[in-house]
A and B are shown apart, each in its own frame.
Chain A
Amino acid sequence: MITIDLIAFGFFVYFIGLFSAGIFAIIGGQWRKSAQLFVLVNVLGFLTGVTYLYGFAPKEIILAEWNSFFHFSPTINLLSAIFFTIISGVSSLVGVYGIRYFELYEEIYNNSLAQFLIVFFVVGMQGVLLANNSFIFLFFWEVMSITSFFLVMTERSESSMKAAFLYFIMTHLGAAAILAGFLILGGGSLFFDFSQIAIASQGLSSTLLALSFLLFLFGFGSKAGLVPFHVWLPEAHPEAPSNVSALMSGLMLKIAVYGFIKIVFSFVGLPAWAGLVVLIMGLFSGMLGVLHAVLERDIKRAFAYSSIENMGIIFTMLGLSLYLFAQNASMEFNGIANLIIVFAIFHAANHALFKTALFLSSGVALNRFHSKRLEDMGGLAKIMPIFSFAFLIAALSSMPIAPFGTFFGEWGFVQNVITLLHGTSLDVAVLIVMVVTLAVIGLVSALAVFAMVRIFGISMLGLPRSGHVELRDEKKDYLLTFPILALALLVVAFGIFAKPLISWLASNINSLNSFAQPQYIVTSKLSSAAVFLVLAFIGLFVYAIKTFFAKRCVQRSYQTWDCGQPINETMQYSATAFSAPIRFFFLNLLKREKILKSEPIVLTNPWIRKYVFSLSYKSLWKNKVYQPLFDIVNFFADRIKAMQGGRIQYYLLFVLGTLIVTLIIVL
């Protein structure tokens, strides 16, 4: 009785509901009702997505055919349904969070405008997933980009405006690249249907194929935050309000991954170097992202860099898969390549969940401490124990540790790489690259653990380092804590059900590209649920033993041991100090400025001195790569500006020149 019509109905109601939520927000100014409708509609969308995945999975459903309206027929297939479900589910939880969060920030943000923009941001993202031709794809991509541009500026402060404009430029450069790629594929036609990608790519010459691949890599890579196109991410995500940062970092980056998989993996005859380029860019992003996540002192910038790291890991997996597909001499690698894509999608799904949870937590911390700097935070676990529990589970879920879902994505990848090393038909150079990939992924995962432990430990434990924390009762903020806990527990659920989920996904993977074989490689007999059960059982067992053996244990509370000298909160380890060893070990890769000035307070006594210390990081990429590019563009723009000085002779000359050039081209 679950028919296609029911699913189509679900989708239509979803979009109509979203539109109405948007209208509610902007007309009336009733952002609260709009937010509630937003949550309800997203829950409905989530249920529709799950129904599709359960009932119709790999089949592609065309929901409608509106040929007059730019040939738009919204289609849903396995890949878009996975991301659709995740986006709806996460958006509903972020909507719940937003109800309380916007209440707290009522004076600073224009709440109804922000709510309106959030609704259309989600409309844009979901529209991209349902697009069937390039025009609709780019239309909804633009909706997504423009709404997020305004959302970054919500605070209307100087730094947020600058970050928003940087984001605006990068996202439109990316969109232009994607448009150019589509034009090459479509042979100049703007309405290029996606079912024709494989055929169109076969008809291209190898230079055009390489060019379109590079354009798509730039377009989707800059949106996803691959190095070296990542400069906008650490600026834009921290400036937006926390629920918007969560949406952008958790969901928008996944749309870029979706676009990349859908389009690039349908190309036929990509050269082998394409996969290697993506792999190396992914490794660089992972390394740079995690290193900065460890060192950053602003909590949201650290989370933004962590997003760059996770995108790097996903693109590493995708790059390896692309390389294996290009080994077309024997189809033996197609099974492993498909399986690696499955692990990449699984990791992307988990990242959407935990990154959203982390950004929402940072919003709570921001609200309590009124500062984004880690150096001002501390001691929140005593004031908000339930929230700190939720934050702890969210932070643990971001690390590749056994019972959480994030572990299984990387675990599968490592196992498949080691299995691949037995493949003797691969080039020795690539085998060495794979060994290096393993080492780098190990280091990146370990540094990710360091980053999250540092952020959680410094912000939640100890005493408040600035001495100032808002002591509101935690129960008033239950709407803030509940989504974080729900998302973190979802990651745990993904971890427990990892094996069935991945097997189901692997068996349905044929729909993603044109040449895939139905067999897949089962990696081990390990059951993911068993890991969780064993750890939980042993934990309870230990607690029981302790209660049995030490029933009468007494405890008293006293101040921290201080060797006789009273200590206060400024004597704790700060965030900068915590990451000092890593900064020292990787000093060659960073550009940091350390200034230490010491002068004696009284000239006659050289031993009592006043110290002034400052430590700042400079972005290597921004200074050495982007700044010179901007300067060159500025220089030429200045020169050309002379032409628009108001002298009519120059205008006539310009028109004449254009006419001549057009005639030359046409004739």
Chain B
Amino acid sequence: MNSILATIFQVLFILLIAPFAQGFVRFCKARLQGRKGASPFLPYYTFATLIKKEMVIPKASSWIFHVVPYVVLATAVALAAILPLLFLGGKLASMSDFLIVGGVLILGSIFLVLGGLDPGSAFGGMGSSREMTIAVLVEPIMIMVFGAISFVTGTFAIDGMVGQSLIWAHPYLLLSVFAFALVALAENARYPVDNPATHLELTMVHEAMILEYSGVYLAILEFASAIKIAVFAILLSNLVFPTTLFVLSGSVSVIVAIIFGIIKVTLAMGLLALLETTIVKMRFYRVQEFMSIAFFTAMFGFVIALLSSIMEVSFEYHTMFAVLSILFVILLFGRARSQVMLRYYALSSLSIAGIAYGLALVFEEERQHLLIFAIVTIIIKTFIVPFVIRYVQRKHKDLVSLPSFLRPASSYFIAVVILIVTFFILKRTPIVGLVEFDTLLYASIAMIGLGLATMIVHRNIFSQITGLLIMENGVTIFTLVTVRSLPLLIELGVFAIIVVSSFILSVLSSRIREFHGSADTEELRSLTE
């Protein structure tokens, strides 16, 4: 099968399955919410009906109003033609350079925004302003994600990137794929960035811009957004499972490619429906937090890819768990609710148990000690300590949510700065050559720094406890690196101290709050009588 035929085939497939994708998400959401839901094939009828209806053109609009639907649909169809969705090596494969794909996406957004401003209504202006902001914040994330992947694979075209087995050979690219999933949510106007189901000011971004369109134009715009979501779903699945694509040279079974495509769309839409049922839509001014998380995850992935190729660190389990533990602490940094912070702390401690397990795989003679250490860490730090703290808080009926001094985006930025500073300090100190595991040493020092920063940045006195616990985690990793396993009695003693001290500190914090009437360190600073 030659490449032109393959491209045409791929475009037709996407055009046919796009309404089903949109309908299937709605259907799954309805079922998950306990309703019967409309048939997943309803959008086909919807589009057919819309085409027959009369259009109403607002008087205040100009020629741009008429041009917008065509351009938006053209960009969506271009995406379906360029990207490697069913086949690898289609005719337009060399055009799937990630910057060009980004440019095509933003061209569609630009015209949609202009179409929102044209009718001269307040709804349209609001939707346009919000959509343009989201498009702006998405662009650096796309460059970081695809920059990392192209750095690792050596090619700039998405066609070439997908063709290699990414995740299994380079596990840190999972971070980039995760960031890309967040970008896909933002681009397609899904939770938590936008709600495609309502038409209220509070929740509209995409819907606000197409509010004035009706009839054929509305059908075109809805079709374009359905195509986009189908394309992103299949592209994400291809990044994670590249073997389901078919290379054109070689015996290809078209039927199998189509079946795989249908399976990918169905699974992805089902997962999307599950996600939308579980999480809430964010307030629009918090979208910067969402985008900051995506950006720093992507940059993290890029920097790890860079460093692992330079320093030739072989990627073993304990390194991966060390990275995970640091990642959870950074995520903890931007949060305010103590329950969420404790959850991330528990996950971080779980990763430390993973480090111990990874080391146990490497060092045979101390295996038993390390495994016992891992199990005890899980029991105590993941379950008992958070439980103790929350028990004390609940007993004293404490409202424990106070923002930190910095906004979340700035918090992540400070965390990254601490990581960079730690890296440069470690490069200068002579201890690095003596110890075997450089990454673990780096993780321990970074975690101590981050714990200290948590104590400084957060205003809540309960966060101080969390900061101390993080620092203690850092010291634990340091012990794992240098001594590798302590005698059992000492370890049990240390764990007991952690539990008891967290209990005492929580009780103390509750008492302070009762006595002074506030848990905010800003207010506790002033002298009382």
A residues neighboring B (CB under 8 Å): 378-379, 381-382, 385, 388-389, 392, 396, 399-402, 407, 410-411, 414-415, 418, 421-422, 424, 428-429, 431-432, 435, 438-443, 445-447, 449-450, 453-454, 456-458, 460-463, 523-527, 530-531, 534-535, 538-539, 541-543, 546, 549-550, 553-562, 567, 569, 571-573, 577-582, 584-585, 588
**Residue in B55, B73, B410 whose CB lies within 8 Å of A555:** B55
Interface of chain B, main secondary structure: helix
Instruction: Report the separation of the CA atoms of residues A379 and B104 in the bound assembly, to the nearest whole angstrom.
Output: 27
What does the 1/0 interface line of B296-307 toward A look like (CB < 8 Å)? 000100110011
Contacts of A525 in B (CB 8 A): 94
| Contact flag A457-B103 (CB < 8 Å), given A524-B156, A539-B74, A555-B56 | no
* Docked complex Cα distance between A573 and B73 (Å): 26
Q: Does B517 contact A (CB under 8 A)?
A: no
A557 and B59 contacting across the interface, CB-CB below 8 Å: yes
Tell me which residues from 132 to 175 in chain B have a Cβ below 8 Å from any Cβ of chain A: 132-133, 135-140, 142-144, 147, 150-151, 156-157
Give residues of chain B (38-79) contacting chain A, Cβ–Cβ below 8 Å.
51, 54-64, 70-71, 73-75, 77-78
Are B216 and A546 in contact, with the CB atoms below 8 A? yes
B185 at the interface (CB under 8 A from A): no
- 14 CB contacts below 8 A, A to B, read A381-B62, A402-B104, A418-B156, A435-B147, A435-B303, A445-B139, A446-B140, A463-B120, A530-B94, A538-B78, A539-B71, A546-B216, A555-B57, A585-B288
> Which of chain A's residues have a CB closer than 8 A to the CB of B270?
none
7 A-B pairs with least C-beta separation: A573-B125, A446-B139, A462-B120, A442-B140, A381-B62, A442-B143, A555-B55
Known contacts: A402-B103, A542-B74, A553-B216. The answer to whether A560 contacts B129 by CB under 8 A is no
A408: nearest chain-B partner, CB-CB: B99
Q: How far does the alpha carbon of A429 sit from the alpha carbon of B427 in the complex, in Å?
A: 11
Are A407 and B99 in touch, CB under 8 angstroms?
yes
Q: Does B403 contact A (CB under 8 A)?
A: no
* Other-chain residue from A431, A561, A579, A581 in contact with B310 (beta carbon distance below 8 A): A431
Which chain A positions have C-beta within 8 A of B299?
435, 439
- Bound-complex Cα distance A134 to B340 (A): 66
**In the bound complex, CA of A553 to CA of B70 (Å):** 15
- Which of B100, B119, B410 has the most C-beta atoms of chain A within 10 angstroms of its own C-beta? B100
A439 to B126, CA, bound (A): 27
A186 to chain B, nearest CB (A): 42
Size bracket of the B interface: 35 or more
Tell me whether B136 and A450 are in contact (CB under 8 A).
yes
Q: How far is the CA of A379 from the CA of B119 in the complex (A)?
A: 10
Q: How far is the CB of B526 from chain A (nearest CB, A)?
A: 26
Residues of A within 8 A of B56 (CB): 555-558
- With A and B bound together, what is the CA distance between A453 and B111 in angstroms? 9
Using Cβ atoms and an 8 Å threshold, which residues of chain B touch A388? 62-64
Q: When the two chains form their complex, are residues A560 and B59 in contact, meaning their CB atoms are under 8 A apart?
A: yes
CB neighbours (8 Å) of B143 from chain A are 414, 438-439, 441-442
Other contacts beyond A381-B118, A538-B81, A560-B58: 12, CB < 8 A: A399-B106, A401-B106, A443-B139, A449-B135, A453-B110, A461-B118, A526-B100, A542-B73, A550-B51, A553-B51, A554-B54, A562-B121
- Report how far A599 CA is from B437 CA in the complex, Å: 66
Q: In the assembled complex, how far is the CB of residue B291 from the closest CB belonging to chain A, in whole angstroms? A: 9
Does A582 contact B140, Cβ atoms closer than 8 Å? no
Taking a contact as CB atoms closer than 8 A, the residue among B74, B113, B117 that contacts A535 in the complex is: B74
Binding site for A on B (CB under 8 A): 51, 54-64, 70-71, 73-75, 77-78, 81-82, 92, 94-95, 97, 99-100, 103-104, 106-107, 110, 113-114, 117-122, 124-126, 128-130, 132-133, 135-140, 142-144, 147, 150-151, 156-157, 211-212, 215-216, 220, 284-285, 288, 295, 299, 302-303, 306-307, 309-310, 409-410, 420, 424, 427
With beta carbons under 8 angstroms apart, the residue of A399, A422, A445, A572 that contacts B125 is A572
- Asked if A439 and B144 sit within 8 Å, CB to CB, the answer is yes
Query: Closest A-chain residue to B99, C-beta based?
Result: A411
Which residue of A396, A431, A523, A543 is within 8 Å of B70 (Cβ)?
A543
- From A407, A445, A462, A585, B119 is in contact (CB under 8 Å) with A462
Determine if B94 and A582 form an interchain contact, defined as CB atoms under 8 angstroms apart.
Answer: no
A542-B73, A577-B125 are contacts. A379–B57 as well, Cβ < 8 Å? no
Q: Tell whether, in the assembled complex, residue B215 and residue A553 are in contact, meaning their CB atoms are under 8 Å apart.
A: yes
Contact B144 A438 (CB under 8 A): yes
A454→B216 contact, CB < 8 A = no
- Least CB distance from A401 to B in Å reads 4
Residue pair B117, A457 in contact (C-beta under 8 Å): yes
Q: How far is the CB of A494 from chain B (nearest CB, A)?
A: 15
- The answer to whether B55 touches A554, judged by C-beta atoms less than 8 angstroms apart, is yes
Q: Which residues of A contact B147 (CB under 8 A)?
A: 414, 418, 435, 438
A60 to B178, CA, bound (A): 54
Q: Which residue in B61, B117, B295 is a CB contact (below 8 Å) of A573? A: B117
With A442-B140, A462-B60, A559-B60 in contact, do A581 and B129 touch (Cβ < 8 Å)?
Answer: yes
